[in-house]
A = this chain, B = another copy of it.
Amino acid sequence: MQHEHISKQFDAELETVRSRVLQMGGLVEEQIVNAIEALINSKLDLADAVIAKDLQVNSMEVEIDEACAHIIARRQPTAGDLRMVMTVIKTITDLERIGDEAEKIARMSKLIYQTGRLSTPRFTEITLMSGIVLEMLRKSLDAFARLDIGTAVQVPRQDVLVDDAFSACMRHLITFMMEDPRTISTSLDVLFAAKAIERIGDHAKNMSEYVVYMVKGKDVRHTSLEEIERELE
């Protein structure tokens, strides 16, 4: 009975950590949505809000990290439980860095609209990329919540689309800059914002790979897409 009681407490602690990760994921998702909105629709108040709220993302990372260290020290998890804790530790590092990228997008929005605003560049590819990376993040979090490998493996495939859209975005910006060199400075700010979105995709991909590790006990980082899919068939 005593043992069962401890085990239930342990389960509750793990469950708390898991739900904190999902909360952190929700906050980070909101940060991306707001940063993109600030960028595309010149909402500078929203940009300021994103920059201010990054502190909250950072402190969630530290707090969840401490909870994990506490669980390892007190509960001495093994096998699946340990993989779960390791996954959380890795996942929150990527979530925190996604938060940093959202903050960068917000900062770039301010630069873009504060400096004169020559003809505004088109945001076609940026809108496309944002949609995909948000879906990737949601899928990674969903896969984490439901321990669902099927959802997790969709994410790396989508990352290829993001990289393609980024290349298209860069080609357009180059044309734009060559046609009117006065737009170079602003175009670079747009390019850095696009780069930040592309990196969010990379982080979401990392997170999806941790889920595979958590469920299968197999580390798929640095494995090719084809190998991962073959493995899961």
Binding site for B on A (CB under 8 A): 55, 58-59, 61-62, 65-66, 69, 72-73, 76-79, 82-83, 86, 89-90, 93, 170, 174, 177-178, 181-182, 184-185, 188, 191, 195, 219, 221-222
Contact = CB atoms under 8 A, between A and B. Distances in A.
A216 to B, nearest CB: 14
Contact of A65 (B77, B93, B170, B219): B219
A231 to B, nearest CB: 15
Contacts of A174: 184-185, 188
Contact of A221 (B62, B72, B83): B62
12 contacts: A58-B221, A58-B222, A62-B222, A73-B78, A73-B79, A73-B82, A76-B76, A174-B188, A177-B184, A178-B184, A181-B181, A184-B184
